[in-house]
Every structure is written in structure tokens, then in C-alpha cells.
Structure 1
């Protein structure tokens, strides 16, 4: 990671990857380059979530596949996505969905599901085959030979609450699937690589650790020798609350009436460390461009609008002849008043990710995109034509680039191009950004940040992001902590719960803990992650009370009416609704309003503070807000974050 960034203590609940159990394969079965593994993603006593992953180590795509397995008695799959399921008793068969699902050479494909199971039951599938061969990839009788013991177990570092470990790879006659870190005889971490960070430890405490390998047939090998480590003193690690990141939307200055000046008058600017201006666009040629150069975007909001004295941060009205107007100039004025603030341009977003796949496709296209973005937003080499003959520069406004490609190698907006190679191309694109930014830093003696907004969905994480290769080039990442559910589904649910909620009907089980745990599993330092929180709500109407009378997990007839879009509303509007009862689940950090027909899942001061404290407790690098224009004139939600972070 880049050395100028802080290193913070971490916490994570390990999610254990379990290779599927095997049965003897038919005599005709051949050795396969494809394997299947299973992970339980959440368990709430009467139910659980799981994911099955097909990994293809071959040189050609696996274009057709059939997975067959049994589940233990008392365990059943109730809903499944990204595959077609058929069931006969306790036996299940999975085949590709109607749109097809080839597993690319060297890639993976994930299938998620929810199930029911008695408390304490083992949910691991049994007798698994892939296209008639064992899920371990080996023909004939099941592999019973365990891996060797890993070597060279070493403590690589400690903080007050974490211990870092590394070891040499084990060997196996078929293949090592992963490693388990043990302390006191209990598994405390499961990883696929040869490093791990054990988190959630107590300060000034001695711990002992061993590591063992497991293979694709669920054989556990012998443990390493024991190493010991003592955690550091409490409070010696840097405080995690050094990042308060807010997205400022280009369009918020219109109907919402939220100006850059509101960041000042509400007190939010003083509390924030970063503002991400959303969004910058990439054209069909794969280059960044200022809005009115191609008739797209909103040049008026960006740098064309003249703000009056009462609307301006500095209290001076804009005139036609000045070098820069619009939001860009207001942000520049805000930075002059609050020198600690960093302002980054966020590229892409849901709608403007359309051309990212093309722009990232080749070394030449990547170089062209990155140089154009740096020229436009950081160098200011290209002029901003304001329509009245004036020419200005964006230089001095932006301190870095925030990448918001939604999403590499998986579905996003319907107009987006999606390629299997997006995952590797995104890594190469990020490297190109880092290389050019480093050169610009050497040239200007300034520091320029590179950050990214990354998804909550573990499937999208695995399909689109090579985290081990990406993280050394990012200053930090922000993790989507919202939009888990909404009115595109016909059942009410939480949109931003921290923990997996008992009784969640799906169709996907989301929670902040699930997302954060996946990134930690992939080796991301918790200090380099910032948790996203919503300053808006999602709602349904036509909702019956249900057995608890609160409308949660109940069928709806459609989205609730919203000020700007059906099914969505800013918090500053929601807080003034009347005739609604307030409900909470403090453990999950959720709140919702229900009036007998309309249901709003939202965050108020209490639940926002709960989410912020959760991020602190787990050693995350701060909190991100989408979007700051949902707050009220007093900055009430921002104050709740600031008070919690201290």
C-alpha cells in the first residue's frame, strides 16, 4: 500500500470456505480442470445463505455444466440465483440459467442461494459432481490424501488488535484449496493465499497460532509448528476516523437546492475530509471530456452557472468574465476556506460506466483514457468553454481520481458493454492511472489520490476485481453499504443493514458484514476500506402489516411515491413525514417507517451513528456518504457521524 496512508486496527468475522464433499465418480469420468467449492455466507439459526463457486483452471471456457449434490436431512435450498435448480428429495441439480453462464478459462462463476436448516446442522453439500466427475476435479475414488503441512509460519506484524501471519505454500497430490489459521485449537481465519491477518484481538495479549492446508476433497493436513505474538498497547494504532467522504452530486443544485455553499453553512465541510464530485464522463472513444464538448453531461452545473453572492461560498457573486464559474469554482472557494479538504472527481457511476469496458480494453486505450482524464481534471490543459467566450481551467479544483465503474465483468446499466476480461483490464487500468499520477506528482511536487467505489455483492467482487493487485495502487476504497434492496423487488426489506437479518426472504442476502468480510477474505486491510452509508431511503406502497404489524418482509404492490423518483426519497424529506410509526433493529443498525400501507427503509441520526460505530469497532478507515444533498440544512446526519468518530 502507499506509505503515506494510515494503518488501522481491524476486526472481521471469518467466513469459512468449505470444499464440497465427494462421491465415487462413474467409471467413464475423466480428470477435469474445473472444481466446485461451497461457502456458507450467513447463518441465523433456522436458515442460512450459501454460495457455490465453479473454478475453471483450463485453457478453454466451460460452456456447459451440471452440478449435482445432496444436502443433509433437515437442510433445504429455498431460493437460488444465477442457475436453474431442480430437486428430487434431498438431491439437487444445478444447470446454467437461460442466458447461459460460461465459466471463462482461468475464471470463476458463482451461484448464490438461501436455505433452511435446523440450528447446528452442517449445511455442507454431499456427493458433489460436476458434469459427472467429482467436484475436486479428479476421476475415480475420492481423494483421501491430505496436503502437507505449510512451512515457515512467521509473524509479519502486530497492532493492538491484529496479528499478521505468512507461511510457505503446502503441497497436495490434487491441489490445495486453502488454509485455516488456528488459535487454541479453533479456526479463526480461512484464506486461499499464504498470508492472513487475524483481527478482533485484545491489546497487550499473547496469542499462539498454527496453520493447516485443506484440499479440494475436504482433507485437512497437519498443522505447522506454533508461533506466538503479543498484541500492542491499546490506543497505539492510529485512530480509524480519519476519512469522512461525501459524494456531492452535480444535479443536486437543481430541485434539491443543495449548493456547495450548504456544505459550509451546515458545518459539514469542516467535518469532511473528502468530497467526491459525481460524475465525470467517458465518451465512446474512451476519453474523459468536459460536459459540453459533446453535448453530454451538465456543463451549466459544472462550470457555467453564475452563483449570486448569497449562493456563493465566499459571499461574492460570479461575473461573466471570471475564469471559472459553476460548481467547480464553488468547490475551489470551499477548499480555500477549508484547506484540509480533498476534492476528487468521480468517473462513471451507474449511467456513465457505459464506455469503461472499451476504454480499458487495450494498453493503448487505457493510456488514452487515463491521460485524457488527468489532462482534463488535474492538469487543466484543456480549456473549459463556457459558452460566452470565456476560458477557464479546472486546475486547483481536484486532488485526485475516484473510479466508479459499475461493474467490471458483471451486469450494471443495460447499455453497458460487459466482457469477461474486464476484471484483468480494470487492474491494468488502475495501474495506468497510478503510473501517470506518480509521474504527475514528480512533475508538480503535489500528491494526487486514487480511490474507487466498489460493490457490496460478493459475486460482483469476485467477478470484477483482483483485490491483491489493485490495493497497492489505491489510497483507499469505498464499499457500497446501501441499495441492498429496493422497490425493484416486490417484498419490503432493509436497504442498508449491517448484519444478516433473521427471516430475510432474499432473493439475495446482503449485509455490510457480508461485503466487508469478503474484502477481508481477499486480503484487503480494513484501514483501507471506507463504509458507505445512505442519506436517503427506499420505499414501497401497498404493504400489509404482516404478523408483527411492522410491514417488514411483506409483499408490496409497487414503489412508494417519491419527490424525484418513485421508490426513493431524501432523508430531509422522510424525517418530516407524519402518520408513520418508527421501528428499529439496533443490532442490525436499521430503522424503518410504516403507516399501515407505505414502508420506508432509511437511516436517521441513531442508525447512522450505529453504522459509524460499527465501522470504528471493526477498524475500517472511515465512512462515506451517498449523497450529502440528502442531509438537512443543519447537517444533522453529518453531525451524527462526526460525533461518533470524535
Structure 2
């Protein structure tokens, strides 16, 4: 029963990804829900209690090299994590880097290991051995800040040459220092996750405020699309933590915040003063990602609150609420929808059905704003849309042979 539910959820997520992208043939992945799980947390308890059906990918973070390129960080619970994830059709990647690797010995190790083609090849070989030993699905590169140098692009290129023929994923988390990553490197990643948080924090108590505001998420998506990354390859980072200033200085997981302030879920700021993302902001950011990216990324899963207070539950409910469920989706049938943009009428062309078809128009919140039955006998049908507000919509047509969808703009 669990397997059937999981498959159903994946199919539904795939459908909404198609509808927002507008082209099923270009959509090769479902809407991604990616969660980081730190290796230094209690992985054993996590494996026993976590609902793996709520995510599509888990990044095991972090596994960093010694001076010889051996990945020597803790692997506690990793084998069981991979088994549980794979049983639920969830992919597991290992992440290298992290903020703490941007300086000191780990940074020096990275930069030395990728400094020449031969050294890169030796390091990548050890990465591949590690991935194979733990049956992992790929590598997440989270090299940040000063650790990104002129050899980064060559390292990624050699990684792609090695991992992709083996069917392994290559992804990146970007934020601090990402301006040093050359644009020609970006297409080598299967997808990129945007660390749209830590705009400020408890390291600078002179700048109190929201560390992950909504405008910052919008800006990061727009900036990376401007750099040439397709929205199908972007995932928006969401924080399951906050920062305190003044009397509450420090870092707080979301679960901890709720334990201190039971009504924190309905807010983004509590106490004196802790800033974080509550339910409403997480919900709106998920909608933003569904419309303008291809997934969300979470730092990090163990910081969530349990049960009905879970932010991960909010993400899943938001995705589910925006789903347009169709029993059969026909991708290869082309039909015309014009004019587009449209003002008063939409004309459906080149779609023929012997039986009446149901036409539904959805807004980008997933709500039906118009529904009517039409005959598609003469290859053209007209739908009045004058009463709709200006904006983007999805026209879905259901016939006995399948379901067809296209996006349009109402002027």
C-alpha cells in the first residue's frame, strides 16, 4: 500500500511540474523536494522515524577529503539511510564541501586535490569508489566562498565526464561565492539548488532581520535564470531554521523555535528576536518554486518540527493542493490555443473529438476559474474568458481519448 501511495504521489507531482513548465516532453523529472541530512546528526533515529515519501532526494552532508582525497567524514547510518530511501524511490546523494569547508585545512585539501588534471582524476576516482560502495545516486557539490577558485570549472567538467556515463547525478548548491563560478560550467549540473538564506545571521548582530525573506528567494531565481540556467534545472532553498538577535542571539532549528513559542508556526518572528520562515512563508515560497523553478531544497530535515507542525508537511500539502489531477495525459497531441495573449475569447483549434469535451481553466494556484462542456467536431471552439482577471492560466481539455493542457495569458 505504501508503494502504491508513493507512486501515485510521484505521478501527481510530475503532472503539476508539466503544467507549470508547459511542455511535458521537456520535463524529465518530477517536482523535486530535496532534503539535506547532516552526517553529524542522529541518522539512526532519523531512519526509523522519517517519512521518506515526503521527499524525492536526500543529500547526505558532508563528506570531505583528507589531503590524499579519501572521504573520511562519518558514514554512520548511511547504508541504512540509502536502503530506506531506495525502498521509497528516493535518491540519495553525498554532498561535499559546506560552509565550514570554505576555510582552513579542508579548503586547502580541496584546492590541492583539484589543482591539476591528474590530481583531479585521482580525486574523482576516489569519489566514484565511495559512491559505488554506498550505492549512492550521485554527488552534490557544495563548495562555497573562498574554496571556489580558478580550478573549480575544470573539476566540474571532469566530474561530469566521469559521473554522467555511469548514470550518476551531478548537482550543485550555490550561494556564497557563486559569482566566481563561470557560466559555461552551469549546464554541466543536472540541477542547481539555490541557498536563498543566510542573507544575515547571528554572526553579525549589527544586522538583525529576516535571513531568508521572500524577495531574496525571488531575486536568486531571477539572477540564476539571467545567468542562463533553465528553470527546469533550478531548485529553491528553504530554511528549516532561524537566527536570533539581541537577547536571543544564536541559531535555532524550527522545531526548537516551536518548542519555545508554540504559536510560531503562524509567524516569521518571535521573542527578542528570532527570525525564521513560518508556515505561510514556506507555503508561498513553494508556490514560487512551482511556478518559476523545478523544486525546493531544504536545509535541513532534522530541524523540522514533528507531526502537524512540520514545515515539510506544509511543502507537501502545498504541492498537493496545486495539483491538477488527470487520469490520462496525452503529451504528443498538439492543439492550437489562440490568441495568446487573449482578451475576450480563446479559440481551441485542431483538436477533434466525437464526444463532448470538458474545458477547464485553472489559475496558477490550481483553482478552477471556469469550466464548460464543448463540442470539438469542427476543429475550432470558442471559449469566453472576458470575466477572468489578467494573468497566467492553464487550459485543460478532457476528452475520452486523453487530457491536454496548455498555458495562456489573459490580458
TM > 0.5 between the two? yes
The answer to whether the Cα contact below 8 Å between 2:99 and 2:144 also exists between their aligned partners in 1 is yes
SS at match of 1:451: strand
Counterpart pick for 2:127 among 373, 389, 394:
373
Structure 1 Cα separation of the partners of residues 168 and 220 of structure 2: 28
Structure 1 Cα separation of the partners of residues 14 and 319 of structure 2: 16
Does residue 83 of structure 2 align to residue 280 of structure 1? no
1:125-274 matches, cutoff 5 A = 238=27, 242-253=31-42, 258-263=45-50, 267=51, 269-274=52-57
Does residue 338 of structure 2 align to residue 633 of structure 1? no
Structure 1 Cα separation of the partners of residues 157 and 15 of structure 2: 24
Structure 1 residue 434 displacement after superposition = 1.1
Structure 1 residue 638 displacement after superposition = 0.9
How many residues in Structure 1 have an aligned counterpart in Structure 2?
Answer: 301
Alignment partner, residue 244 of structure 2: 539
Counterpart pick for 2:194 among 479, 483, 496:
479
Structure 1 residue 452 displacement after superposition = 0.8
Structure 1 Cα separation of the partners of residues 19 and 48 of structure 2: 41
Distance 1:399 1:580, change over 3 A: closer
Structure 2 Cα separation of the partners of residues 583 and 336 of structure 1: 34
Alignment partner, residue 428 of structure 1: 154
Does residue 178 of structure 2 align to residue 461 of structure 1? yes
Structure 1 residue 406 displacement after superposition = 1.2
The answer to whether the Cα contact below 8 Å between 2:14 and 2:30 also exists between their aligned partners in 1 is no
1:20-169 matches, cutoff 5 A = none
The answer to whether the Cα contact below 8 Å between 1:241 and 1:645 also exists between their aligned partners in 2 is no
Alignment partner, residue 220 of structure 2: 515
The answer to whether the Cα contact below 8 Å between 1:241 and 1:616 also exists between their aligned partners in 2 is no
Alignment partner, residue 452 of structure 1: 172
Structure 1 residue 583 displacement after superposition = 7.9
Structure 1 residue 438 displacement after superposition = 3.4
Structure 1 residue 161 displacement after superposition = 7.8
Alignment partner, residue 327 of structure 1: 77
Deviation digits for residues 395-414 of structure 1, max 9, x if unmatched? Answer: x2x1111111013xxx3xxx
Structure 1 residue 487 displacement after superposition = 1.5
Structure 2 Cα separation of the partners of residues 581 and 629 of structure 1: 18
The answer to whether the Cα contact below 8 Å between 1:247 and 1:625 also exists between their aligned partners in 2 is yes
Deviation digits for residues 51-81 of structure 1, max 9, x if unmatched? Answer: xxxxxxxxxxxxxxxxxxxxxxxxxxxxxxx
What is the TM-score of this pair, normalised by structure 1? 0.43
Alignment partner, residue 407 of structure 2: none
Structure 1 residue 580 displacement after superposition = 8.1
Distance 1:642 1:366, change over 3 A: same
SS at match of 1:531: strand
Distance 1:601 1:638, change over 3 A: same
Alignment partner, residue 345 of structure 2: none
Q: Rg larger in 1 or in 2?
A: 1
The answer to whether the Cα contact below 8 Å between 2:193 and 2:236 also exists between their aligned partners in 1 is yes
| Consecutive unaligned residues in structure 1, runs of 5 or more | 1-5, 11-158, 163-231, 292-296, 303-325, 381-393, 442-446, 500-510, 543-559, 562-566, 585-590
Does residue 220 of structure 2 align to residue 492 of structure 1? no
SS at match of 1:282: coil
SS at match of 2:214: coil
Structure 1 residue 602 displacement after superposition = 1.0
SS at match of 2:173: strand
Structure 1 residue 529 displacement after superposition = 0.6
SS at match of 2:115: coil
Distance 1:634 1:480, change over 3 A: same
Structure 1 residue 513 displacement after superposition = 2.0
Distance 1:579 1:628, change over 3 A: closer
Structure 1 residue 625 displacement after superposition = 0.5
Alignment partner, residue 349 of structure 1: 98
The answer to whether the Cα contact below 8 Å between 2:257 and 2:264 also exists between their aligned partners in 1 is no
Structure 1 residue 599 displacement after superposition = 0.6
The answer to whether the Cα contact below 8 Å between 1:250 and 1:277 also exists between their aligned partners in 2 is yes
Structure 2 Cα separation of the partners of residues 582 and 280 of structure 1: 33
Alignment partner, residue 270 of structure 2: 593
Structure 1 residue 631 displacement after superposition = 1.1
Deviation digits for residues 442-493 of structure 1, max 9, x if unmatched? Answer: xxxxx211111111x5xx332x2112x2233211011101111111222311
Does residue 391 of structure 2 align to residue 608 of structure 1? no
Structure 2 Cα separation of the partners of residues 243 and 519 of structure 1: 18
Structure 2 Cα separation of the partners of residues 530 and 569 of structure 1: 24
The answer to whether the Cα contact below 8 Å between 1:485 and 1:495 also exists between their aligned partners in 2 is yes
SS at match of 2:77: helix
The answer to whether the Cα contact below 8 Å between 1:582 and 1:593 also exists between their aligned partners in 2 is no
Alignment partner, residue 253 of structure 2: 570
SS at match of 1:283: coil
Structure 1 residue 336 displacement after superposition = 4.6
The answer to whether the Cα contact below 8 Å between 2:144 and 2:178 also exists between their aligned partners in 1 is no
Structure 1 residue 606 displacement after superposition = 2.2
Alignment partner, residue 403 of structure 1: 141
